[in-house]
Amino acid sequence: MTQWHWDPETYLQNMLAEVPSYPDLQEHTAATAKGVPARTILELGIGTGETAKRVLADHPDARLTAIDSSEEMLERAHTVVPEAELTLARLEDPLPDGPFDLVVSALAVHHLDGPGKQDLFRRIAAVLEPGGTFVLADVVVPDREEDVVTPIDGVYDTPDRLDDQLGWLRDAGLDPETVWSYKDLAVVRATRPQRPG
């Protein structure tokens, strides 16, 4: 995922070429989100709306709020999910006001370094409703070198190990569970307890 400038025209074609399991990742993300009763959804890094359209198909009455740091990608997303509230913002910025029943992020959080991910997970926990769920789908550093499949530039792409991220999600007060992983991709469901543990 070596794009520094996101081009909505070539985005999907590039992703399918660079991330062979991209469709599987999206399907497992949507399937995980489907199990969450949600009227309010926040997506972080909506891109062209590939994740959002799948999630909204299962939550047709939900209100989607989403951010992305690329104006061009947001313009494309607007054509895909016209009812959504889309904001040009970075993951590092204060998150939109919650609370949200569901927060989703696919292939965006790995652009933050370790401390940045830890900080984001704490802020996500703070905007989730008690009982709400964060679905994280992303590229991770796999245990086995031969499972590195996704192109990573090490500068703009800074994935971390799945175990480390599960620990950071627990530190943020969430209960994480890996629902799918394949080579260097993973989908995690992390639920905010109804009451702090």
Q: Which residues bind ligand SAM (CB under 6 A)?
A: 1, 6, 45-47, 50-51, 67-70, 73, 90-92, 106-108, 111
CB of 74: closest distance to ligand SAM in angstroms?
A: 8
113 vs 21: CA distance, rounded Å: 23
Q: Which is nearer to ligand SAM, 114 or 131 (CB)?
A: 114
CB of 197: closest distance to ligand SAM in angstroms?
A: 30
Angle in degrees, CA 13, 151, 53, rounded to 5:
40
Angle in degrees, CA 93, 97, 100, rounded to 5:
115
Q: Which is nearer to ligand SAM, 31 or 170 (CB)?
A: 31
Residue nearest to ligand SAM (CB): 47
Q: Which is nearer to ligand SAM, 6 or 100 (CB)?
A: 6
90 vs 178: CA distance, rounded Å: 26
Angle in degrees, CA 17, 21, 22, rounded to 5:
70
Nearest to 190 by CA among 146, 124, 144: 124
Q: Which is nearer to ligand SAM, 76 or 192 (CB)?
A: 76
What single DSSP character describes residue 20?
A: T
Q: Which residue has the tokens 């769920």?
A: 133
Q: Which residues contact 13 (CB under 8 A, 6 or more apart)?
A: none
Q: Which is nearer to ligand SAM, 91 or 166 (CB)?
A: 91
CB of 105: closest distance to ligand SAM in angstroms?
A: 7
CB of 8: closest distance to ligand SAM in angstroms?
A: 9
CB of 49: closest distance to ligand SAM in angstroms?
A: 7
92 vs 119: CA distance, rounded Å: 8
CB of 89: closest distance to ligand SAM in angstroms?
A: 7
For residues 46 and 65, the answer to whether their CB atoms sit within 8 Å is no
Q: Which is nearer to ligand SAM, 117 or 170 (CB)?
A: 117
